[in-house]
Chain A
């Protein structure tokens, strides 16, 4: 048995006695999960997630699909501390994601097998991280004090990572890029692979910014997005050029 710091997020694979492999990936800033936000869309390696905040304050991450007839949970609402699917109102609880009520049959005890497909979720430094499999340990430290915004970048993850590396950003951890500046302030960028040629770039600052500087920080982020998308376009046209 390996000598690992165990916490309640660690599970052991009983066949190998090693932790089941898993890796925390950044999904969205924790401030996205407000009561009015309801069930929020996120992504994990291109797959859609439905995220929400449970009554105990913990972040929940599920496959974005109700097991009944496949409606995205993001069309549902958080009602009385559970997710109510927008189609037939089936009500799913936090934690194990079990369906607890089917309104069409108010007297029925719902079979335990009917549940949302759940992922592991944890909050650290104001970011929600998700993993398919249990993970040994906490998400990588980012050093971020303030999350500024998330930008949609129309580019592939490889293109974004390559362009940022070329601009002096270094990978502090998988999906975590540090060492650069935004608008003159030390910054950290987290990458989420969304669907179909889309990357969600979460931009954070190491120090709390002077509010008067926020407009120029946002302007710098929009410029960065422009560069990332221009490089992605060049990569596409470059490939087509090579084919000729």
Chain B
């Protein structure tokens, strides 16, 4: 009976082996992907790490969380941290010299403020506070009076006018407060990616509420990013990224309130003191996350006609914007990268970067 015994043993061994292989193949067809989510900077941040030992990946993601929370504290405009103290000093009429850490980020945001012609400017902190979008406990449901807006606007000085890079000094400017809101997430994402790289992670996404930077790939395919429809349900466009790229999207649907039939959203035009008009969403594809973050704000503010010029100033060539009419405008380079998912043919316009 040895012949039959052998058949039995082989059968059962193959059975067991196959069952295991099936499980592994099915579950582990994708090498392990670690996802870690936390709240920071007023949004949901998700760290996705691919093909890295799970325990180390989880530890690295937790360090990213700690990093975000630390930066959130350091760059809060109204607490007792470095930026908060700067703003207090400014309010008291003093000029302030900054320590290197804060100086570096102020300097970077200053470069963008200049390059964008003032469409992005962090020195509008008082306006932001007036509208109240940043404060979770003090949510607006009606716009501030036009009088208060005008007063605040008059006190605003563009950052390039008061920042002196050579001495790392902010000149005296009562009524001015610096708010890094349109920039901080990007900076944090950049620093988080550096942290992950130091840990030997080669394939990851750090996604702060939809503003993300992705490195590497997801195994045998690129990372697949979805940009949601600004007004409707579902996904507007799909973008594939690999290597090292940032995809940032800003929209008027993220934080807003409606009052007497009008929508007031959180992206303020530094020149008018009111929320920007004309565009409902902007998506930027760039290398550096901080630039992409600030660019989104700058382009939203610049509006449907003028945004290509501002994009040129910021050195960007991959931009997609959606007008409030539903028309989509893309740069040629972005047109190649983006796959539009609207079922009916969308109203698409190609805009060259000057």
Do A and B come together as binding partners? Answer: no
